[in-house]
Structure 1
Amino acid sequence: MKYCCEEHVELALDEAVDEYETAPKLEKIKDVDNENATCGYCGQAAVYIVANG
């Protein structure tokens, strides 16, 4: 599972496909859950969670 911002969502999806060889699940983070979630690539506030299928 990876947290990512708008800018890095495509990178996170590509990495999930490469790693798990299945279609990843993409979920938008709710504001309540977003308080401590940061992008794993740049440290900005995360907008999405990318997880293996």
Structure 2
Amino acid sequence: MAIASSNNTYQEELLRLWGSKVTKLTPQQAQLVVEILRDLEQRKQRCLQLA
């Protein structure tokens, strides 16, 4: 369930940041953007742990 909740959070954030531009993405493109954002968040957390 946490993954679905996290996925929804990223999708909501995409809509907030990009508005109607997000609706022009294919589902595959939108999923790729969500995966990239998730990866960036994980990298940030790893960097903060090392600091």
Tell whether the structures are fold-level matches, with TM greater than 0.5: no
TM-score, normalised by the number of residues in structure 2: 0.37
TM-score for the superposition, normalised by structure 1:
0.36
Tell me which protein shows more helix as a share of its residues.
2
| Higher-RCO chain (CA-CA 8 Å, sequence separation at least 6) | 1
